[in-house]
Amino acid sequence: MTAKTLMIQGTGSSVGKSVMVAALCRIFKQDGLRVAPFKSQNMSLNSFVTMDGGEMGRAQVVQAEAAGIEPTVDMNPILIKPEEDARAQIVVLGKPAFTLAAGEYYQHTPELLAVIEGALERLRSQYDLVVIEGAGSPAEINLKQTEIVNMRVAKMARSPVLLVGDIDKGGVFASLVGTLVLLDEEERQYIKGFIINKFRGDIALLKPGLDQLERITSRPVLGVVPYQHRLLIPDEDSIYQNESVRKKDVEIAVIYLPHISNSTDFEPLQQEDGVEVRYVSAVDELGEPDAIILPGTKSTIADLQYLWQTGLALEIVVRAKAGTPVIGICGGYQMLGKGIEDPQHVESQRDSIAGLGLLDMVTLFEPQKTTCQVKARVACEQGLLEGAKGMEVIGYEIHMGQSIGDDIAPAFEVTQIADRGVSYPDGATSGNILGTYLHGLFDSTDFRHTFLAQLHQRKRLPLLPRAPLPTKGEQFQKLAELVRGSLNMKLVCRICGLES
């Protein structure tokens, strides 16, 4: 049996497509359907590693979790990871395929369309419903001949499309009508209704506009979804911002690198009471943080050069030597060493670059990319890891290169890759400096709380009682209730050919 499909497109970027797909995946799961998400092409530096070591966009992982299934690369067969100099690494079915300049990418769309069609067919053979996400807007008229993520996919799947507009930005009626106008007649036939997202206020005041929108377009408004505060489900590549006003005990500065990746690493810290996480990109923005984090990056050498050019590198070194804890994750870990060597020009045209010199190790870039899910345990009892030795953490690695040092204490011991037992050291620690290749480190509740306790103790602050954060299941339940209560779900089911 071939699954039904339903596609969510938007009037632009960041209108809530990713979250809407996650909500619908959870709703249909609750209603007893086997449902899977799909996005043919994703441009994102927030990526994830599947059980079999494939790399895919983080948004489809969240959607798969909402559907209660294991994420696979078929759910996001093409992942574009921007690099420096208007180039991008193209990941196809979870593996790096090539690196291209922006204009070269569209020469490959015919072969990529075949990959997309194959991935979608495999999903449709396994599930009852596939909820498809578009990208940006289908009305980007300069890209219509080459796009492989919006109307071309709708036609491939013969999928009805619901068009989402963000009223919080203003101009939502013009955006919805204008999108229809810029589509050709065949494409307009795929648009079956509208969803208005992120509404604040009295819906009675909106109703005259909704009525007129339906008259002008001859299409129904399927619902108006309220703006939801403290929804802990990120939308695509957005940096999570906690909107609540709380007492600040601990302040953490994350360096906002030009090619920052996997910023999702820090969302659990942002959700903790009394913790403020700030993203800073200049020396005068640093303030007096209790810890500095160097995050992952898709272009480590270029971003390290940026740190030296802006003075941030020198300032971080000065702060570290004065006692401020500095944590580096993945590319940020590589920056903490004495240098990075790239003799094969894997990442840039430079042969080498000096690191911050806070850890006694060097990194050598190699063409092979490491992508794996891992389990590890804290390997030492010093500095920021005091009180954490033996603690288990679960995460994943995505990196080029290996970091080598003779006299450094490894921070972690990796004990498992996917479901295979292994044993090898990861990262390094020295005093108030900590580096690791493990993404998702702060998702581990015990480790996160121990780390925050260390920061409290350094400030001689009393420790706060910390409860576990809301589970993903609880957040998906909250999201599903919100969206189910806002949409005409009977009509949505009818549109995608499902019995209500």
Q: Give catalytic residue positions.
A: 330, 439
d(CA 421, CA 403): 22
Would you call 82 exposed, middle or buried from its count of C-beta atoms within 10 A (0-12, 13-18, 19+)?
Answer: middle
Rg (CA), the chain: 23
Name the helix (H) or strand (E) containing 376.
Answer: strand 362-378
What distance lies between CA 257 and its chain's CA centroid?
A: 16
Degrees to nearest 5, angle at CA 217 with 129 and 206: 90
In a 3-state reduction of DSSP, which class is residue 107?
helix
Degrees to nearest 5, angle at CA 403 with 397 and 406: 135
d(CA 240, CA 263): 8
- What does residue 271 show for φ and ψ, rounded to 5 degrees? -85, -5
- Closest residue by Cα to residue 43 from 197, 241, 259, 195: 259
What are the residues facing 131 on neighbouring strands?
6, 37
Give the pairing of strands 78-82 and 392-404: unpaired
The tokens describing 403, both together, are 């970091």
Is 429 within 8 Å of 380 (Cβ atoms)? yes
Is 83 within 8 Å of 61 (Cβ atoms)? no
